[in-house]
Amino acid sequence: MKESPDLIRLRGLAFFGFHGNNPAEAEFGQRFFVDLELRTDVCEAGKSDNLEHAVDYSAVYLKVRHWMEQERFHLLEALATRIAEGILEDFARVSSVVVEVRKPQAPLPGIFDEISVSVERCRQE
């Protein structure tokens, strides 16, 4: 599948999860945010105006919600990788994906806005 210049973005998806290496994170949980960039050719969907020719971003959201709320990861790197690889497995029209997982209340000393990890994965030919 060739790389498309077209993008679908889902930004600021908010979830409550129990991810982290700290025992308190596993016990109490916290809010996480996810941003996605899905590369996909939208030409056919743009012409047909038919969801069957598009990436159903409602379905993408439900998959991400499952991984964020029903699975547990110690590292943001593992969580972001799971989401990226899962999207490529489940949505054939996506040629590549960028996933950023943001953790605004990481248990770190000091003042900061958030910690985030971003991964990019491409479909293998």
- What's the pLDDT tens digit per position in 77-101? 999 999 999 999 999 999 999 999 9
Active site residue 103: yes
Query: By 3-state DSSP, what share of the chain in percent is helix, strand and coil, each rounded to 5?
Result: 35, 30, 35
pTM of the entire predicted model = 0.90
Quote the tokens at residue 34: 């996810």
Q: Considering only CA atoms, which of 112, 118, 122 is closest in space to residue 40?
A: 122
Helix (H) or strand (E) holding 42: none
User: Length of the chain in residues, anyone?
Assistant: 125
Out of 2, 47, 63, 103, the active site residue is 103
- Mean pLDDT throughout 8-31? 91
Q: How many CA atoms lie within 13 A of 47 on its CB side?
A: 3
**Which CATH number applies to 7-122: 3.20.20.70, 3.30.310.10, 3.30.1130.10, 3.90.1720.10?**
3.30.1130.10
Q: Residue ranges of the domains in the chain?
A: 7-122
